[in-house]
C-alpha cells in the first residue's frame, strides 16, 4: 500500500458513521421542509428532495445503496446519491446548513435513541431483579463486608440493592437524554446562518424539546456524549459487581446459585468444569467502556472553539460503548432469569460461623450493658467458640457467663430469624420491610411504563 492510499484512507469515517443514516435522512427531510416553508427554496424542489431521501433510505435498508468509500463519509454519500436520483434540486438541500451542525444533529438524535434503548433494557433487568427477589423472599443468606460473613440478610434484600443501583442508572440516563435533547441545526459552521430559518419548526419535526442557544457551542459541544459515556461507565460498574457475585456464588466454595447451561461453558481440558464465562466476560467488558469515556475526555480537553476534525473521533468509541452496554445488560438479565438459587446452602452459610455476634451484643445492650462492654464480651465469646470449633448455639449458658454475668437463657433466643426480623427500620432486611420494598419496586416499574 502506497503513501497516497494510506493518506486518503486516514480521514475516512464511512465504515462507522453509516450507522447514522436514519438520523441523517430524517434531519435532511426536516431541513428541506423548513426551507420550503420559509420560501428559501422552491416547494417543488423540497418535495423532490424528500422523495429522493426516502428512496435512499429504502436503498440502504435493502442493502442496494451504492456506497462509495472515496467520498469519505455518510453525508457525502447521501448527497451524491441524491443528486444522481433527482438532479439539480439536490444541490439546494445544503442551503443554510453546514456539515458541522448536521453532524451534531445526527449524533444528538442517535444518542436519544440509544438512551431510549438503554432505558428499555434496564427496565427488563430491574424486572428480573424484582422477580428473583419475590420468588425467593424467604431465603436467608449471609451478608458480607470485606468478603467476610457479617450478618444474616434476606437474599431478596441483596437483590433489591442492585435494583436500587440500576434505578440510579435509569435516572442518570434520563438526565443524559434531557441534556442531549437540544436541536443544533441552524448554527451553521459556527456563527449561525444568514437565512430566515425556522429552527423551532425543525426541532418540532424531529422531536427535540428546545433549540441550542449559542451557535459556537452547538457545533463543538460533545458533553451529551460524555454524559452517555459517564452514565454507561457507572452502569457497567454495577453490572460488573453483580457479575462478580455470580462468579463467586456459583463456585463450589459458595454454591449459592447454579448458572444455567446457557450462560456457562465447559473447560477445553477438564470435563467436570462449568465455567461462568458470561459473567466473567460481562465483568471484563467494563474496561472497554471506561476506556471509551477516557478516550473522549482526552480528545475534548484540548480543543479550542469551535469545530475541529478531532471530533470525528467521537463516534467509534460511543458506538462501541452503546453496543457493549446493551449486550451486557441483556446478558445479566438472562443470567438472573435462568439461574437456580440454592436456598438451603445460603441458609447453612448464614447459620454457621458467627454472624449473630452483633445480635448477641445487642441482646446484652438490652440488659443494660454499655455497647462497648457488650462488644468486648461477645468478641471474647466468638474467639472462645472458634478456638473450640463450636457455633454459638453449641455453647452452654455457663460458658457464656464466663464472659459476662448478664447472659441468661434469653441468649438462645437469638437466631438467624430473630436477627433478620429485628432489622425492621426503613431500608432494613426484615421480611416486612423487604415485602414493602418489593411492592415499591414493582410500583416504580409500573409508573415508568405508564409515564
Instruction: Catalytic residue, from 120, 251, 267, 418: name it.
Output: 267
DSSP count for the chain of H helices, then E strands: 18, 8
DSSP state letters, 100-157? HHHHHHHHHHHHHHHHHHHHHHHHHHHHHHHHHHHHTTT-EEEEEETTEEEEEEEHHH
pLDDT (0 to 100) of residue 10: 87
* Residue 83 shares a structural domain with residue 30: yes
pLDDT (0 to 100) of residue 8: 63
Does the pLDDT at position 3 exceed 70? no
| Domain limits for position 443 | 352-450
* Residue 290 shares a structural domain with residue 438: no
What confidence tier does 354 reach under pLDDT thresholds 50, 70, 90? confident
Q: pTM for the whole thing?
A: 0.93
Quick check: is 375 in a domain? yes
Annotated catalytic residue 220: no
* Residue 344 shares a structural domain with residue 358: no
The CATH number linked to 428 is 1.10.40.30
* Residue 91 shares a structural domain with residue 106: no
**How far, CA to CA in Å, does 438 sit from each of 132, 393, 444?**
10, 32, 10
Does the pLDDT at position 348 exceed 90? yes
* Residue 267 shares a structural domain with residue 409: no
Quick check: is 205 in a domain? yes
Quick check: is 4 in a domain? no
* Residue 219 shares a structural domain with residue 299: yes
Closest CA to 246 of 328, 164, 344: 328
pLDDT (0 to 100) of residue 450: 83
Query: Which of 304, 330, 348 is the C-terminal boundary of a domain?
Result: 348
What confidence tier does 265 reach under pLDDT thresholds 50, 70, 90? confident
pLDDT (0 to 100) of residue 273: 64
Of the CA atoms within 13 Å of residue 286, those in its CB half-sphere come to 18
pLDDT (0 to 100) of residue 267: 60
Write out the three cell numbers for 103.
453532524
Contact call for residues 295 and 233 (beta carbons, < 8 A): no
Alpha helices in 213-342 (DSSP H): 215-220, 223-249, 277-300, 315-338
Whole-number percent of the chain with pLDDT over 90:
92
Q: pLDDT digits over 244-259, tens only?
A: 999 999 999 999 999 9
Quick check: is 1 in a domain? no
Q: 3-class DSSP state for residue 275?
A: strand
Q: pLDDT digits over 155-178, tens only?
A: 999 999 999 999 999 999 999 999
- How far is residue 293's CA from residue 284's CA, in Å, rounded to a whole number? 16
pLDDT (0 to 100) of residue 138: 96
Query: Which of 348, 367, 397 is the C-terminal boundary of a domain?
Result: 348
Query: Which of 299, 327, 348 is the C-terminal boundary of a domain?
Result: 348
pLDDT (0 to 100) of residue 6: 46
pLDDT (0 to 100) of residue 352: 82
Q: pLDDT digits over 20-53, tens only?
A: 999 999 999 999 999 999 999 999 999 999 999 9
- How far is residue 403's CA from residue 378's CA, in Å, rounded to a whole number? 8
- How far is residue 443's CA from residue 446's CA, in Å, rounded to a whole number? 5
Q: pLDDT digits over 58-116, tens only?
A: 999 999 999 999 999 999 999 999 999 999 999 999 999 999 999 999 999 999 999 99
Quick check: is 399 in a domain? yes
The CATH number linked to 38 is 1.10.275.10
The CATH number linked to 302 is 1.20.200.10
pLDDT (0 to 100) of residue 386: 92
What confidence tier does 377 reach under pLDDT thresholds 50, 70, 90? very high
Annotated catalytic residue 267: yes
- How far is residue 156's CA from residue 98's CA, in Å, rounded to a whole number? 54
- The average confidence (pLDDT) of the chain is 95
Q: 3-class DSSP state for residue 40?
A: coil
Amino acid at each position: 500500500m502506497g503513501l497516497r492510499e494510506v493518506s486518503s484512507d486516514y480521514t475516512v469515517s464511512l465504515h462507522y458513521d453509516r450507522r447514522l443514516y436514519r438520523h441523517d435522512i430524517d434531519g435532511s427531510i426536516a431541513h428541506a421542509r423548513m426551507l420550503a416553508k420559509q420560501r428559501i427554496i422552491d416547494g417543488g424542489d423540497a418535495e423532490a428532495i424528500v422523495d429522493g431521501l426516502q428512496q435512499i433510505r429504502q436503498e440502504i435498508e435493502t442493502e442496494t445503496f451504492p456506497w462509495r468509500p472515496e467520498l469519505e463519509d455518510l453525508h457525502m454519500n447521501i448527497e451524491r446519491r441524491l443528486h444522481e436520483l433527482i438532479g439539480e434540486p439536490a444541490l439546494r438541500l445544503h442551503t443554510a446548513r453546514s456539515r458541522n451542525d448536521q453532524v451534531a444533529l445526527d449524533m444528538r438524535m442517535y444518542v436519544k435513541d440509544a438512551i431510549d434503548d438503554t432505558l428499555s433494557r434496564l427496565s427488563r433487568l430491574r424486572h428480573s431483579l424484582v422477580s428473583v427477589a419475590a420468588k425467593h423472599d424467604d431465603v436467608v443468606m449471609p451478608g458480607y463486608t470485606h468478603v467476610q460473613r457479617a450478618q444474616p440478610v434476606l437474599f431478596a434484600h441483596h437483590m433489591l440493592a442492585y435494583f436500587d443501583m440500576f434505578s440510579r442508572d435509569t435516572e442518570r440516563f434520563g438526565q443524559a437524554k434531557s441534556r442531549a435533547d437540544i436541536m443544533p441545526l441552524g448554527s451553521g459552521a459556527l456563527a449561525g446562518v444568514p437565512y430566515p430559518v425556522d429552527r423551532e419548526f425543525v426541532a418540532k419535526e424531529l422531536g427535540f424539546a428546545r433549540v441550542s442557544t449559542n451557535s459556537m457551542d452547538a457545533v463543538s459541544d460533545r458533553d451529551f456524549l460524555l454524559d452517555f459515556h459517564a452514565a454507561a461507565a457507572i452502569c457497567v460498574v454495577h453490572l460488573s459487581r453483580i457479575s462478580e457475585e455470580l462468579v463467586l456464588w456459583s463456585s463450589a466454595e459458595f454454591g449459592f446459585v447454579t448458572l444455567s447451561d446457557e450462560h456457562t461453558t465447559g473447560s477445553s481440558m477438564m470435563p467436570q468444569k462449568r465455567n461462568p464465562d458470561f459473567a466473567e466476560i460481562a465483568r471484563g467488558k467494563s474496561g472497554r467502556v471506561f476506556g471509551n469515556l477516557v478516550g473522549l475526555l482526552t480528545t475534548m480537553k484540548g480543543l479550542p472553539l469551535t469545530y475541529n476534525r478531532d471530533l470525528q473521533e467521537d463516534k467509534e468509541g460511543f458506538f462501541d460503548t452503546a453496543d457493549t452496554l446493551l449486550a451486557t445488560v441483556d446478558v445479566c438479565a438472562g443470567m438472573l432469569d435462568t439461574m437456580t438459587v440454592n436456598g438451603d446452602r445460603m441458609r447453612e452459610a448464614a447459620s454457621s460461623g458467627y454472624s449473630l455476634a452483633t445480635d448477641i451484643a445487642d441482646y446484652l445492650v438490652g440488659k443494660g450493658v454499655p455497647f462497648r462492654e457488650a462488644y468486648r464480651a461477645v468478641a471474647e465469646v466468638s474467639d472462645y467458640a472458634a478456638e473450640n470449633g463450636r457455633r454459638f448455639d453449641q455453647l452452654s449458658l455457663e460458658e457464656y457467663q464466663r464472659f459476662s454475668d448478664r447472659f441468661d437463657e434469653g441468649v438462645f433466643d437469638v437466631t438467624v430469624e430473630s436477627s433478620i426480623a429485628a432489622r425492621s427500620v426503613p431500608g432494613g432486611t426484615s421480611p416486612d420491610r423487604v415485602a414493602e420494598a418489593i411492592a415499591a419496586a414493582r410500583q416504580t416499574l409500573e409508573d415508568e411504563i405508564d409515564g
